[in-house]
Structure 1
Amino acid sequence: MSIKVTVVVQKDENWYVAKCIENNVASQGKTIEEALNNLREALELYYENEKPDISYYQTFITTMEVAL
């Protein structure tokens, strides 16, 4: 079984942080690829003993400008 999740990757100083939007599971790595691989492993462990209950609603991600 496989599922599709929405992931955001952000650079935080010397690390890349990958976070799953659907369940807030996160991981990090020195490269984007490493962060994503670590997140994949974390998600596999997260769902190891239970069936995912993820609704497949479309997720829209965008940027916006905010006046400060």
Structure 2
Amino acid sequence: MDNPTYYTYKTAPESPALRGLGISTRQLQRAVHLGRLTYIKPGTQVLFSDDHLRDWIERSTVLAVR
């Protein structure tokens, strides 16, 4: 079983799921505050897995209508 990698607010923008999208730390904090981004909170630290970040991006994607 592979151990997932977890990211903090500071490191998440450079994760494989978000790299190149221009997502800021502030955008992540706002998504957490609004309940739009799933996270893990051991103690006081907020952590995100690649799956959390990918799911958030997928739910935020707007499909083009023709």
How does the TM-score come out when normalised to structure 2?
A: 0.31
How does the TM-score come out when normalised to structure 1?
A: 0.31
**Higher relative CO (CA 8 A, sep ≥ 6), structure 1 or 2?**
2
Task: Give 1 or 2 for the bigger CA radius of gyration.
Answer: 1
Answer 1 or 2: which has greater strand percent: 1
